[in-house]
Amino acid sequence: MFFNRFLCLVLWSVVLSFSPQKAQAKTVSFAFDNDSFFGTDRDYSSGLFLRWSSFSGPVPYSLEIASQLWSPSDIRHFKPMPNERPYAGLLALKARTYRQNPTNTYIGNVMLGTVGPNSKAKYGQTFIHTLIGSPEPNGWEYQIYNEFVYQAGLDAHRLLFRGTKNELSFFGRGQEGNFQSEVGGGVTYRFGTDLENTFGSTSTQLGNGIDVSLLSSSLQGVFFYLMTEFRYRFDDIMIEGEKPIENDELEIEHHQYSLSAGGAWYRQDWGLALSMTLHSKAFETSKKEHHTFGNLTLFYRY
């Protein structure tokens, strides 16, 4: 039953993408997530994303390599402390297909990757901390064990109202697999130029505050956004995955929410996007009610 639902999500994502698209660019982007924007180093701590996208053919799509890591709230301890999430890393290949018009946008996505030592997240965090002079992260020996992960999902955005310079829309999304299964929805407010050709480009998801692939139908513009999402998370391998017994057994917080704000400025050849996101706690006994991180994305279009 689970495999059938997973397969249906994959097929639905592909089918929705086969639609004529207005397109003007291929895009290469580099995105950087980090909670140091807010002077913290805990929970979802960092992410690096290299993406290539094409809107020039019959099937708009993007391919992305992602490296992400999660850490406890105090990285100075050599052994896991009570009520702390375990260290965890993800190395993944992500693919997305798109169907976009001025009033509706659909995004199908598939992710394949690995969590655990094979993700090499330990070395990435240690290297960055050495460069910026932050404390050395200890305790990676107790991280989530190696496991192959997969996930498929679908996002849908629909316009509610659009004026000359602003718009209001709502969205719903779902994803299923052995990484993080959840359903959610929310509302988005945007203010700026050429909104009809960049509809559905915002998100509260990690590494994807603004999906620059969905700016391809606009030659130039600028916009700002504010959005909120409420979701129900069924499972989360980064908390519940197999790990050394020294870690606490944690119960995930099923009811979660996010707030995100940011903006994008772009010309015909290049642009940048900046977003800030607040997520509520991911497990019930978390010492913090929420955590925040920022995202900076630079992209080149040709």
pLDDT at 3: 44
pLDDT at 14: 45
Q: 3: Cβ–Cβ under 8 A, 6 or more apart, which residues?
A: none
Sign of CA dihedral 229, 87, 68, 9: negative
Query: Cβ-count burial of 297 within 10 angstroms (0-12 exposed, 13-18 middle, 19+ buried)?
Result: buried
- How far apart are alpha carbons 85 and 229 in whole angstroms? 23
Distances (CA, A) of 234 to 7, 12, 212, 277: 18, 21, 29, 21
- Look up residue 2 and give its two tokens: 């689970």
* Helix ranges (DSSP H) in the chain: 2-17, 121-132, 237-240
Tell me the three state secondary structure of residue 247: coil
Question: Are residues 151 and 110 in contact, defined by beta-carbon separation less than 8 angstroms?
Answer: yes
**In the 8-state DSSP scheme, what is residue 80?**
P
Question: Are residues 279 and 295 in contact, defined by beta-carbon separation less than 8 angstroms?
Answer: no
Question: Are residues 99 and 17 in contact, defined by beta-carbon separation less than 8 angstroms?
Answer: yes
Nearest CA-CA partner of 170 in 97, 254, 230, 232? 230
Give 10-residue mean pLDDT values along the chain (302 residues).
Answer: 50 45 77 86 92 92 97 92 96 97 98 97 85 83 97 98 97 97 98 97 93 96 98 97 96 97 96 97 94 96 93
- Look up residue 206 and give its two tokens: 């990690």
Identity at 103, one-letter amino acid code: T
DSSP string, 247-295: SPP--B-SEEEEEEEEEEEE-SSEEEEEEEEEEE-SBTT-SSSEEEEEE
Strand partners, 255: 232
Q: Kindly report the backbone phi and psi dihedral angles of residue 70, in degrees, each rounded to the nearest multiple of 5, phi listed first.
A: -125, 145
The reported pTM is 0.89
Question: Are residues 38 and 294 in contact, defined by beta-carbon separation less than 8 angstroms?
Answer: yes
pLDDT at 231: 98
Going along the chain from its start, the domains and CATH numbers come out as: 2-295 (2.40.128.140)
